[in-house]
């Protein structure tokens, strides 16, 4: 039998099992003791009655053997068989237990000289007493088990209370309260040792979080500064008429890469925030985000014979961070534009979902289930492979559902359900 996973359940079960085991041992011992005592008393009664009858018969050979409700005696000599029943004749000397129908007897057979004495003791009444006593012991054992279980419940509360108190303090502790040690409230014992371990781990976690915050702030500042310089320089160069068309195309690629890097950095910083800071976002009109993203990503379609259809509904307003919604939509539309050589890209947004489909190169069947894994990238594609991973993480953060269907050479359909 497997023990319950919770500490309180284990204490109750073990305590109840221990009580049941002790009750069972005591029940068996008491019943066996009572049975042996009754057997001994019956044997002593048989011995006393036989000795008494033999003494009377020696004084008066015509004395009759005992004949009562409980006792029944018989005498057999070499000359006279008497009225000894046949079922007694085959029994050797000593003590025996026999059963006749519903009745049971204890039989004592004794030989004196050439005379055999038979004495039967009706043990049916004793058997009924032992049966009632066994039921009483069983009831007491059950009551003892139930009392042990109740005692286990009370004991578990007393034993688990310090652990539960420690867990509550850890659960409701905010980062601002980490400087107050838990071991102050639990100075001794095993719970105190556990509290000191928690204090040590909380100190390490606080230091780790502080380093992460400092790193995020520093990398955000430094990265944005460098990207701002690259973007401003790119804009200046794109406005320079002295550059050739080929040079401006290359500078345009640099500008787009810088903008993609800025967008990706923003996404990663957003995802690094705590969940409660993202769940309650302002109203974001998805249709506006879609139209803006399509305009920003159209440069990917330059020179491709691709038809783009966009159907939106302004009635869908998401309670989510607008930056994350834009990142989600950008990744879906960018992938559709980038991996479609010719054909059509359809962006369909209704009151409950957003569907982006294309007639592009598609995804191999064996890779469809892995596209949402971080850093997964199909062998024939370029990139870090984190776009759809970000989409999945954003959907998981807000409780949305994302589903992808694709066949190699026939295109891809990605659907995000917001309801």
Q: What is the DSSP string of 217-250?
A: HHHHHHHHHHHHHHHHHHHHHHT-TTS-HHHHHH
Written as one string, the DSSP assignment of 342-357 is SEEEEEEE-SSEEEEE
Q: What is the pLDDT of residues 149-207, one digit of tens each?
A: 888 888 777 777 777 787 777 777 766 666 677 777 777 777 788 888 888 887 887 78
Q: With 0-12 CB in 10 A as exposed, 13-18 as middle and 19+ as buried, what is 16?
A: buried
My answer on whether 34 and 92 are in the same domain is yes
What number is the average pLDDT over the span 118-127?
Answer: 91
The pLDDT score that the predictor gives to residue 28 is 92
pLDDT at 389: 82
Output the pLDDT for position 245: 83
Within this chain, do residues 291 and 368 fall inside the same structural domain, yes or no? yes
One domain for residues 110 and 188: no
Task: Give a yes or no: residue 306 inside a domain.
Answer: yes
Are 127 and 184 members of one domain? Answer: no
Question: Which domain covers residue 328, as residue numbers?
Answer: 279-417
Q: Is residue 49 part of a domain?
A: yes
Q: Is residue 191 part of a domain?
A: yes
User: In which band, very low, low, confident or very high, does the pLDDT at 275 lie, cut at 50, 70 and 90?
Assistant: low
The predicted model gives 339-351 an average pLDDT of 91
pLDDT at 127 over 70: yes
Same domain, 249 and 363: no
Q: Which of 214-223, 291-300, 386-395 has the highest mean pLDDT?
A: 291-300
Residue 286 contacts residue 312 (beta carbons within 8 Å): yes
207-233 mean pLDDT: 79
Number of domains in the chain: 3
Identify the band that residue 282 occupies on the pLDDT scale cut at 50, 70 and 90: low
- Beta strand pairing call for 306-311 and 343-349: parallel
162 assigned to some structural domain? no
362 and 319 in a single domain? The answer is yes
pLDDT of res. 379:
38
Same domain, 368 and 239: no
Q: Look up the pTM and report it.
A: 0.49
- Residues 88 and 118 sit within 8 Å (Cβ to Cβ): yes
Nearest CA to 209 out of 180, 184, 174 is that of 174
CA–CA gap between residue 145 and residue 185 (Å, rounded): 36
Q: Is residue 159 included in any domain, yes or no?
A: no
Q: 3-class DSSP state for residue 315? A: coil
Are 140 and 207 in the same domain? no
Tens-place pLDDT, residues 8-42: 777 788 888 888 889 899 999 999 999 999 999 99
More confident site: 60 or 209: 60
State what percent of residues in the chain have pLDDT above 90. Answer: 26
State yes or no: pLDDT of 400 exceeds 90: yes
214 occurs within a structural domain: yes
Q: What is the pLDDT of residue 215?
A: 76
CATH code, 284: 3.30.565.10
Helix/strand/coil for 118: strand
Say if residue 372 is in the same domain as residue 313: yes
Q: Calculate the average pLDDT of the chain.
A: 83
Q: Model confidence at 311, in pLDDT bands (50, 70, 90)?
A: very high
Last residue of a domain, one of 247, 272, 297: 272
- Region class of 293: left (phi > 0), else alpha (psi between -120 and 50), else beta: alpha
Mean pLDDT of 106-125: 90
pLDDT range class, residue 332, cuts 50, 70, 90: very high
> Is the domain of 407 the same as that of 308?
yes
Assess if residue 2 is contained within a domain. Answer: no
Same domain, 258 and 296: no
SS3 annotation, 186-198: CCCHHHHHHHHHH
> Are residues 297 and 266 both part of a single domain?
no
Contact 49, 74 (CB under 8 A): no
How many C-beta atoms lie closer than 10 Å to residue 195's C-beta?
Answer: 23
Lowest mean pLDDT among 183-197, 306-320, 370-384: 370-384
- Range in 46-50, 159-163, 287-291 with the lowest mean pLDDT: 159-163
Question: Does residue 71 carry a pLDDT above 70?
Answer: yes
**Residue 319: is its pLDDT beyond 90?**
no
Query: Mean pLDDT over residues 74-82, rounded?
Result: 81
Assign 378 a pLDDT band (cuts: 50, 70, 90). very low
Assign 288 a pLDDT band (cuts: 50, 70, 90).
very high
CA distance 79 to 67: 23
- Does some domain include residue 1? no
């Amino acid at each position: 039998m497997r023990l319950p996973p919770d500490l309180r359940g284990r204490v109750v079960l073990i305590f109840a099992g221990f009580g049941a085991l002790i009750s069972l041992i005591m029940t068996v011992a008491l019943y066996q003791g009572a049975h042996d005592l009754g057997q001994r008393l019956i044997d002593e009664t048989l011995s006393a009655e036989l000795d008494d009858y033999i003494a009377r018969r020696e004084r008066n050979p015509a004395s009759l053997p005992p004949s009562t409700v409980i006792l029944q005696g018989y005498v057999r000599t070499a000359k006279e068989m008497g009225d000894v029943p046949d079922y007694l004749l085959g029994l050797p000397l000593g003590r025996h237990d026999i059963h006749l129908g519903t009745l049971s007897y204890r039989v004592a057979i004794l030989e004196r000289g050439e005379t055999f004495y038979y004495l039967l003791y009706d043990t049916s009444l004793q058997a009924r007493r032992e049966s009632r006593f066994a039921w009483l012991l069983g009831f007491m054992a059950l009551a003892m088990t139930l009392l042990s279980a109740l005692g286990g419940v009370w004991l578990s509360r007393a034993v688990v209370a310090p652990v539960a108190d420690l867990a509550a303090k850890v659960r409701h502790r905010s980062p601002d309260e980490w400087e107050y040690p838990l071991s102050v409230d639990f100075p001794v014992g095993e719970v105190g040792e556990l509290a000191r371990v928690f204090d040590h781990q909380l100190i390490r976690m606080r230091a780790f979080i502080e380093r992460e915050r400092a790193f995020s702030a520093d990398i955000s500042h430094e990265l944005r500064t460098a990207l701002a310089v690259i973007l401003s320089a790119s804009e200046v160069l794109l406005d320079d008429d002295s550059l050739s068309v080929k040079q401006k195309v290359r500078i345009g690629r640099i500008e787009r890469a810088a903008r993609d890097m800025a967008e990706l950095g923003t996404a990663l910083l957003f995802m690094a925030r705590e969940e409660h800071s993202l769940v309650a976002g302002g109203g974001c009109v998805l249709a506006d985000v879609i139209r803006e993203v399509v305009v920003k990503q159209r440069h990917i379609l330059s020179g491709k014979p691709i038809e783009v259809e966009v159907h939106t509904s302004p009635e869908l307003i998401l309670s989510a961070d607008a930056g994350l919604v834009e990142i989600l939509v950008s990744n879906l539309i960018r992938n559709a534009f980038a991996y479609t050589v010719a054909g059509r890209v359809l962006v369909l947004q209704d009151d409950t979902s957003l569907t982006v489909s294309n007639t592009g190169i598609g995804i191999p069947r064996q890779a469809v289930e892995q596209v949402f894994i971080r850093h997964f990238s199909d062998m024939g594609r370029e990139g870090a492979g984190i776009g759809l991973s970000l989409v999945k993480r954003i959907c998981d953060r807000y409780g949305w559902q994302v589903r992808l269907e694709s066949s190699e050479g026939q295109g891809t359909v990605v659907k995000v359900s917001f309801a």
